[in-house]
Amino acid sequence: MARRTDETEPGAPPEELVGPLERGLAVLRAMATGQGGRHRPGDLARTTGLARSTVDRVATTLVRLGYVRAEDRDLLLAPRAAELGNAYLSSTGLPEAVGPHAVALADELDESVSVAVPDGDGVRFVAQAARRRAMAISFRAGDVLPAERCAPGALFAAGWGDTEWEAWRARHLKDPLDTGFPSVPPRTSSPSASLSASASPSEAMEAVEAVEAVEAVEAVEAVEAVEAVEADFRERTRRGREDGWAADDQLIESGLIAVALPVHDPAGAVVCAVSVVSHTSRHDIGSLAGFALPPLRAAVAAMEAALAAPAASKAVEATTAQVTAEPTGPGVAALKEELGAGFLQSLARGLDVLCAFGAVRGPVRLAELARLTGLPRATARRSLITLCHLGYVREDEDGFRVLPRVLELGHARVSGLTLVEIATPHLADLVLRVHESASLAVLDGQDIRYVARVASSRIMHIDIRVGTRLPAYATSMGRVLLAALPEGERAAVFAGVTPEALTPHTVTTPEALAEAVTDTARRGYGWVEQELEEGLRSLAAPVTDGGGRVVAAVNVALHAGRRSAEESLGTLLPHLLATAAGISADLAAVSRWSPVRVS
Ligand code: PHB
């Protein structure tokens, strides 16, 4: 029997809750589930029921910590919000064990493959290997579906007892149209009373009676409808248990079909389900099952073997995740000093505790969480009581475990961000600081291709648009991107181009070009002085993903005549490197467990 002395008892007394943490999470949740990505603080006060001044303090803290971004008068979830869901995903070990097989299966079948976990009476996606197709909606890691409306739900419900079915029924009765699941189209509604404004008191009376009559009929119909849905769901659950797989024949929307298999951990518990998703334009449910089930079975066997294999060195795992769990920039205490009463220290600490779960596979003890966060045990414990109370963490005999519900704190929204969306606010910020135009480019064959750009407001700015291609050899971003290539690939690029003297300064000999690229790699930034165009100076830095791979370059371009080279370098380089580091950190958070598209 595990020791429980230091740990929390279930049903924690409310006075032990950390109010600012509870309120901070309420704001994050409201931002994640609300319509659109932009939120006015006043609207957040309304949806959360918090005082406007409280929302402001929460927002100040979340902005300073990097979970939220302020733009004009709006608040938006920032890429760092992905860290909360990442903590859950890392702690499960699922993405490494299951993700690669899901991707391989999607490639083999040329259909989307998704992985979902049970989350109460819902089904929450944790990984997607999507085929982009025009016809079907697709879900993102973090999205939640009603269990009765998707294939994995019938597999998870096979393990439900009376309590779980009760909870499911209560939810479904309360929200029969699934409005609490913003990522699915609502169920088609039952006939409703639409009454026009009444002209006279007697008409008004009649209207009220009519409404009451309709409501009474509707209440009976609603119960009948819920019973019908339940009977159908129970039948599909029974079949799922019997057959070992489940189907979704257009439960979410017309045309969308799926088959799913459960994935078991070594102890035999269902940990997730893998679905192959198709469309009635390509398959009916029978042909999809015939086509997809055999390779799906093989993929699941491989996933179960990966789950059973001893986890990759726990120590290595801990070091990597610990880095992500640490607050970027100044520590919590320094921020408190800087911002005073405007900074909610206990919110910051609670979020650190949540992130720290990502450093360890499986359950974690209080002492370890305290060590990982550098917090006193009593402080970490209060955060844990709050997180357990809100359903983000559960305490078992073997320690605390972070739950899939943390994915509701914005993961779906930020895990879908593209590199361009991640980088653009950083570019805008750089332009404000240096008053020169800033861009992001990727390597595309022998060229660089501009994918994002923020122009300065100078009258004379350099006219380059997104989509512009320029020869990599003559640009600072090209040099940065070439410098990051493995030797063989770099040689192949050089072999395919004949550098032209675009200006009298352009480096054109193979030896000098190779040297320029080597210099770039050694310095860590690219510098091109009037080689592409007379009078044009450009400075570039690499943008890396979480694995340290260079995926893009960021630059500032300016007229060479305005300042000496040394002056330009001295004033611009620190800002440019900080911008590249900021984009890279955001990209690391977002791309930890989800692939990030460029645009
Ligand atoms: C999906 O991944 O989009 C999906 C999975 C299972 C379903 C429906 C959709 O039942």
Predicted confidence (pLDDT) per residue in 146-189, tens digit: 999 999 999 999 999 999 999 999 999 999 999 999 889 888 74
Exposed, middle or buried by CB within 10 Å (0-12, 13-18, 19+), for 259? buried
Let me know: does 434 contact 572? Beta carbons within 8 Å. Answer: yes
Q: What is the Å distance from ligand 1's center to 403 Cα?
A: 21
pLDDT of the residue at 330: 67
Helix (H) or strand (E) holding 145: strand 144-146
Structure-token match 């060590």, residue found: 371
Q: Which of 144, 148, 150 to mutate to test the pocket of ligand 1 (most atoms within 8 A of CB)?
A: 150
Q: Above pLDDT 70, what percent of the chain?
A: 90
Establish whether residue 420 lines the binding site of ligand 1, counting it when its CB lies within 6 angstroms of any ligand atom.
Answer: no
- Res 294: pLDDT: 98
Q: Spell 404-417 as b/e; 16+ CB within 10 A means b.
A: bbbbbbbbbbbbbb
pLDDT value at residue 190: 40
User: For a substitution probing ligand 1, which of 114, 144, 236, 594 has the most ligand atoms within 8 Å of its CB?
Assistant: 114
Q: Tell me: the pLDDT tens digits for 350-390?
A: 999 999 999 999 999 999 999 999 999 999 999 999 999 99
> Could you tell me the pLDDT band of residue 336, with boundaries at 50, 70 and 90?
confident
Phi-psi group of 532: left, alpha or beta (phi > 0 → left; psi -120 to 50 → alpha; rest → beta): alpha
Does the pLDDT value for residue 445 go beyond 80? yes
Residue written as token pair 């440019």: 576
Strand partners, 146: 122
Bigger pLDDT: 120 vs 132: 120
Q: Is 407 in the pocket of ligand 1 (CB under 6 A)?
A: no
- Percent of the chain at pLDDT > 90 equals 78
| pTM to 2 decimal places | 0.88
**pLDDT confidence of residue 588:** 97
**Ligand 1 site, residue 151, Cβ cutoff 6 A:** yes
First and final CA of the chain: distance in angstroms? 52
Residue 324 pLDDT level (bands cut at 50, 70, 90): very low
Over residues 19-41, the pLDDT tens digits come to: 999 999 999 999 998 778 999 99
Domains of the chain with bracketed CATH: 19-86+316-415 (1.10.10.10), 94-313 (3.30.450.40), 419-590 (3.30.450.40)
In ligand 1, the atom with minimum distance to the C-alpha of 139 is: 3
The answer, yes or no, to whether residue 313 has pLDDT greater than 50, is: no
Q: How far is CA 483 from CA 110, 170, 493, 517, in A?
A: 35, 59, 11, 5
Tell whether the model's pLDDT for residue 473 goes beyond 50. yes
Q: Residue 169 and residue 164: Cα distance in Å, rounded?
A: 9
**Whether the predicted pLDDT of 194 surpasses 90:** no
- Give percent helix, percent strand, percent coil of the chain, each to the nearest 5: 50, 15, 30
Cα(114) to centroid(ligand 1), Å: 7
Q: Residue 137: its pLDDT value, please?
A: 75
What is the residue with the minimal CA distance to atom 2 of ligand 1? Answer: 114
**Residue 409 predicted with pLDDT over 70:** yes
Token pair 């994002």 is at which residue? Answer: 452
Q: Which residue of 111, 277, 279 sits with most ligand 1 atoms within 8 Å of its CB, as the best mutation to test the pocket?
A: 277
Ligand 1 atom 5, closest CA: 275
Contact 363, 401 (CB under 8 A): yes
Ligand 1 proximity of 113 Cβ (cutoff 6 Å)? no
> What would the mean pLDDT of 337-361 be, rounded to a whole number?
93
Range of lowest pLDDT (70-79, 96-105, 241-250, 454-463): 454-463
pLDDT (tens digit, 9 = 90+) per residue, 51-67?
Answer: 999 999 999 999 999 99
> How far apart are the CA of 257 and the centre of ligand 1, in A?
7
CA distances from 584 to 252, 423, 441, 483, 556 (A): 37, 9, 14, 17, 17
589-599 confidence digits (pLDDT tens) = 999 999 999 99
- What residue owns the CA closest to ligand 1's atom 7? 150
